[in-house]
Structure 1
Amino acid sequence: MISRPAVLEWFWIVAVVAASLVGSALVDYSGSTPFYLIALALVLLRAINPARPAKSARIWPFMLFAALALWGLFGSLAGRLVYGQTANSLALFVPLLIPVVDVLRRRAMSVDYVRNGFMFVSAAYCVTAVFVVGFGSDIVSEVQFRHQTSYFLAMSLATALILRSAWLSLLSVLATVVCFLAYPALTYVLVIAVTFVVVALHSLPRRLSIPALWLGVVFLVAVVSFRSKIEELRIGYFESVGKTDNTRTREVLYEIGVTRLREQPAFGSFFVDNIAVRAPNNVTGPFKFVPLHNDYLQIAVAGGLIFVALLLVSLFGIILVAVNSILKVTDRDNPNRSVTSIALATLLAMLVIAIFNPILVEPGAAIVLALTVVILSNATAQEGNVESL
C-alpha cells in the first residue's frame, strides 16, 4: 500500500510552480532557456525522489511513450550538436525526459495532493487571463491566452466540476468567456466538449457514463467525417465575428508538410532537421519560417509515419488505462480517481488542440504534456487502481 505523501514532496512543488509559470506565461519574455531548466530540474527531482513502493503493474503504453521520447531526444540532440539544426524538435523531447525517468524509476509517487496543485494552477491561469485579456493588463502578452493554451481552461473546468469547487467554477467560466470573446476560435468549443465528456465519465453512474463516453467518440468521428462542411461553417463564423480566417494559410502549410513527408515517409529525418518551414508568398505575414499548424503532421515530417503511428498507439493506450481506472473505482471522491479524470481532460484537450495548432513543439506545453503523463502513470499504476495491461 502506498503511504500517504509528504506535502513537501519536492517534485510536485516544482511541478506546480512550473505549470503555474507556464500557464500564466510569466516566463514568456525569457525565451526557451527557463523551460529547459525547469524540465531538467523535474527530471533530476524525479530521479532522486525518495524511495516509494514499486508500481504494481508495468503498463505498456507508458513504457512505449518513454521509448519514443528517447528516440526523438537522441535524433534532436544529434541535429543540434552535430548538424547545427537550431529549430528541430528538441523543445518537445527534453521535457519528455520526465516520463522517461518516471518509467525507469519504477517507484510510485502518491498523487493525493496533486488535486490541490490542479486548483492552484487553474486559479493562476484564470486569474491572469482575466486581468490580461479582460482588463488589459500588460504583465504578459495577451497572445499567451488564446486558444493554443486553452488546455488550461480544460484543466480549470474539470478541476472545478470534479472537485465541486464553486469559486473555481465561477472563475473558470469567467476566464473561458473572456478568452473566447477576445479571440472567438472554435477550438474552445471542442476543448469544452472534450472536458464535459470526461466530467460526465467521472461524475455519472457507470450505466450513464459509458453512453456519455460513446457520445463523445461519435462527436469526434462526426467532426472528422463532416470536416468540409465544418470548414464552411467556420469561415462563415469567422466573418460574422469579424475575425480574419486563416484557412488558406493552414492549407498552404499542410500542403508543404505533406510534400516534405512524401520525401521521407517512413522515418522522416529521424528528428535531426529543423521543423519550421518557409511559407511562400508571405501567407504568414511577417513570419518567414513557421511551424506546421498540425502537430501530428509536423511530428510525422520530423520522425516519419512509423513514429507517429507508435505515438498514437501509446497515447490511445494511456487514454484507455485512464478510462479503465476511472470506471473501476466507483467512489468519485477517491483522490486518485479525481486526479486521473482531471489529467485525462487536460491530455485530451491538448491532443485536440494539436490538430489545429503547433503546441506540442512549444517547450512550455511539452512540460505540461510530460507532467500530465507522469500524473496518469502514478495515479493509475498504484495498487488496486488498474489491472496490468
Structure 2
Amino acid sequence: MYTTEEVHNKETQGQLSGYSNGWPRAFWVISFGAVCVFASGIHYRYGISPSLWYFATFATVTAMVNSFTGPARRRSVDVTSLSFLVGWGLLGTVAGRIFYGQEGNALPFFLAMVLVVLWWASGRVLPVNGVVALIRILSAVYSVFAILVVQFSVPLSSEGHFHHQTSFFLVAGAVLATVTLRWLELALVMAAIIVTYLNYPALSYLLGFAVAAICICAFYVNRAQMILVLAAAVAICSSIAMNIDLVLGSISHYFTSVGKTDNSETREALLEIGLRKFFDRPWFGSWFIEDIAIYAPGGITGKFKYVPVHNDYLQLAIGGGIVFAAAFVAIMVIFLIRGVVTLSSRSAPTEDRVILVTGMSAIASILVMCSVNPILIDIRTALFFSLSVVLSLNSMARIERACS
C-alpha cells in the first residue's frame, strides 16, 4: 500500500500508469506493429500508399506508449465514444482484409486513430516539452520542400505530395506562426501557399484558410466575441446553401478562369453511386468489413476503375452506416466547441493554448476538406489527423487541470 503522497509521486513519474511494466507495453507495441507490417505489405503490393507511413505510425505508437508518464486525468464522454468508434472500425477493417481480402476499406484511418484510443486508455496527461518547437521545424521543412519541388522542380519528392490534399500542413503552419508572432516563419509559409496554389489552384486552399482565420480569432478574442464570429460563419454558410446555384455557377467560372478542368459532373456521378451503395444498408453499413470505394462506370475516371467517392463522410457512412457517420460528426463538433471554450481561458499556459489552436486548425481544415476530397482514408493524412487530435485533447486536459 502507498500513502497519498507516494501515490501522487508515482503517478507523476508514470509508475502507476498501467503501461509501466514491461509485458503490457511490449504486448501493445508488438501487436500493433504486426498489424502495421501486415497492412504495409498489402499496400506495398498494390501500390495504394507508401508502406513507409505505416512504419511511421508504428514508430509513433511506440513513442507514445513509452510516454505515458504524466499525471492522471479524467476521461471525457466524447473521447470515450470516439475510442469506441475507432475500435469498431479497426475490428471491421482488419477482419475485411484478413478474411475477405478487401483492399479498399478504411484501415489506414482506423490504424492511425489507434493513437487516440491509446491516449484515452492511458488516463494520463502527456508532457508537451518541445512540441511547439517540433511543429515549427516540421512546418518550415514542409514549406521549404514545397517551394523547391513545386517552383524550382528540385527532385526531392513528388510534386503531388504538395497539392491541395495536404494543404492542412500549411494551414497549421500559418496559424502557429501567427499566434506565436514569428513573422519570418509566416512569410515562409505564405510563400509556400502562393507557390502551391498557383501551381494547382484548388478551392480547398480557400476553405482551409477560412478555417484558419476562425481559429486565430478563437485564440485572440474573448468568448462573447467568438460567439459573434461563429454566428457570422453560420450566416455565411447558410447564405451559400440558399444560393447554391449561383455558387456552382461561380465555381464553374472559376475552373475556366484558372485553366482547370471542371470535374464537378464526375464528382456528382461518384456521389450518386456512393449514395446508392449507402442506401443498400443505411443503418450500420457493412460494419467496415467490405470496401468503401466504388466502381466507376463508363471510364468517367479515366484509367482508374476502383475509386473513392471524394467525400469521406459518405465513405464512412458506407462502411458504418448513418449510426457511425452521425456519431463521428457529432463527436468532432463537440470536440471543436470544447476547444473554442478552452481557448477562451486566458489563465491557461501559453504553450498549451498554442498547441491547442494549431491542432484545432489542422483538424478543422481536414474535416472541411474531406467533404470534397478522400483524404481521411490516406495513411499520411490519417496519421497527421490522429496526432492533431491527441495533441489537442492533451492540451485541453492540461489547461483544464491548470485552471482547476
TM-score relative to the length of structure 1: 0.88
Q: For 2:373, which of 330, 336, 357 is the aligned residue?
A: 357
Structure 1: distance between partners of 2:135 and 2:208: 17
Larger Rg: 2
- Paired residues of 1:275 and 1:298 also in contact (CA < 8 A): yes
Instruction: Report the equivalent of 1:7.
Output: none
Q: What pairs up with 1:102-117 in 2 under 5 angstroms?
A: 102-117=119-134
More helix by share: 2
Structure 2: distance between partners of 1:247 and 1:348: 23
Pair 1:139 & 2:150 matched: no
Deviation at 1:267, TM superposition (A): 0.8
The residue matched to 1:328 in structure 2 has which SS?
coil
| Higher RCO structure (Cα 8 Å, ≥6 apart) | 1
Question: How many residue pairs get matched?
Answer: 363
Q: What pairs up with 1:152-301 in 2 under 5 angstroms?
A: 152-301=169-318
Instruction: Report the equivalent of 2:61.
Output: 43
- Paired residues of 2:311 and 2:374 also in contact (CA < 8 A): yes
Spell out structure 1 runs of 4+ moving beyond 6 A.
1-4
- Paired residues of 2:49 and 2:379 also in contact (CA < 8 A): no
2:75 maps to a residue whose letter is: R
Q: For 1:334, which of 340, 344, 350 is the aligned residue?
A: 350
Deviation at 1:3, TM superposition (A): 7.5
- Paired residues of 2:222 and 2:344 also in contact (CA < 8 A): no
Deviation at 1:115, TM superposition (A): 1.3
Give CA-to-partner distance per residue, 1:249-296, whole Å, 9 cap, x none.
100100000000010101111111112211111111111111110000
Pair 1:54 & 2:72 matched: yes
Deviation at 1:42, TM superposition (A): 2.0
Alpha-carbon distance change, 41 to 225 in structure 1, aligned in 2, over 3 angstroms: farther
- Paired residues of 1:279 and 1:288 also in contact (CA < 8 A): yes
Root mean square deviation, CA, Å: 2.2
Q: Unaligned stretches of 5+ in structure 2?
A: 1-7, 14-46
Instruction: Report the equivalent of 1:127.
Output: 144
Instruction: Report the equivalent of 2:87.
Output: 70
TM-score relative to the length of structure 2: 0.85
Q: Unaligned stretches of 5+ in structure 1?
A: 5-28
Structure 1: distance between partners of 2:148 and 2:238: 37
Deviation at 1:210, TM superposition (A): 3.1
- Paired residues of 1:325 and 1:385 also in contact (CA < 8 A): no
Percent identity among equivalent residues? 32
Q: For 2:400, which of 371, 384, 389 is the aligned residue?
A: 384
Instruction: Report the equivalent of 1:367.
Output: 383
Between stretches 108-117 and 255-264, larger displacement belongs to 108-117
Structure 1: distance between partners of 2:356 and 2:68: 23
Structure 2: distance between partners of 1:261 and 1:143: 30
1:181 maps to a residue whose letter is: L
- Paired residues of 1:147 and 1:187 also in contact (CA < 8 A): yes
- Paired residues of 2:282 and 2:318 also in contact (CA < 8 A): yes
Structure 1: distance between partners of 2:102 and 2:317: 18
- Paired residues of 2:150 and 2:162 also in contact (CA < 8 A): yes
- Paired residues of 1:99 and 1:374 also in contact (CA < 8 A): yes
1:228 maps to a residue whose letter is: D
Structure 2: distance between partners of 1:349 and 1:185: 14
- Paired residues of 2:370 and 2:376 also in contact (CA < 8 A): yes
